[in-house]
Structure formats: C-alpha cells, structure tokens
Amino acid sequence: MAANWRRCQKCRKVLPVEDFEGDSEICRTDAAKASGAATVTSRPSAATTVTARPRTQATPVRDIRGHGDPEVRARRARSRALERLSQLHAEEFADLLREERTAEGLT
C-alpha cells in the first residue's frame, strides 16, 4: 500500500503515485505552478492542462478529547501529560532518558 503513495518534495503532501510525472520528486500541481510562472502563453489553448481525477472530500480533523472508550481516553491523557512534563523539565527528562537508554543497551 505504501508503494502507491509518495511525498512531494515541494509542498510536502503525501499524494498517490498518479499525481506525479514518472520519477519526478514534485507533484504535477507544483510542477504546473512552477512552469506556469515561467511560461507565458498567448492563447489559453496553447497550454496543456492535466485533469486530475476528483477526490473525495476528507473530513476535517476535529478535537478528539472526550470521545472514545474511557481506557483509551485515560491513556491519551497520560500520554499528553507525559509530553507536557518532558517539556517542562527537559533537562531532567533528558538525563532519565539517557540512563534508561544506556540500561537497555542503546547508546
């Protein structure tokens, strides 16, 4: 499944392989923007247009707090609290992480 997707190096979006021209690292949309800015055509029919297949509208990401199983919500709250704690006490967290990684044999 991952072979059917690629990240555009210009807009950084993950798009289907069909949105890229061969082995190009940028998607057709960005390539058209780049060539459109550099090329001026005298008539609209002289420019080649690529019609993309219509995509289904993705649902917007919404706040997931307060949704789901209580156990999942508890784990999510713990994970957020640990993330905030590691940011508030960055030096102590780095020391503890270094000790634990050494204990696991990771240098």
CA distances from 67 to 50, 63, 70, 74, 80 (A): 41, 9, 8, 11, 15
Cα(23)–Cα(53) distance, rounded to whole angstroms?
20
Arithmetic mean of pLDDT over the chain: 79
CA distances from 101 to 90, 104, 105 (A): 16, 5, 6
* Residues ≥6 apart with Cβ < 8 Å to 32: 50
- Low-confidence stretches of the chain (pLDDT < 70) are 1-2, 37-66
pLDDT of residue 1: 47
The structure's pTM equals 0.34
pLDDT of residue 67: 72
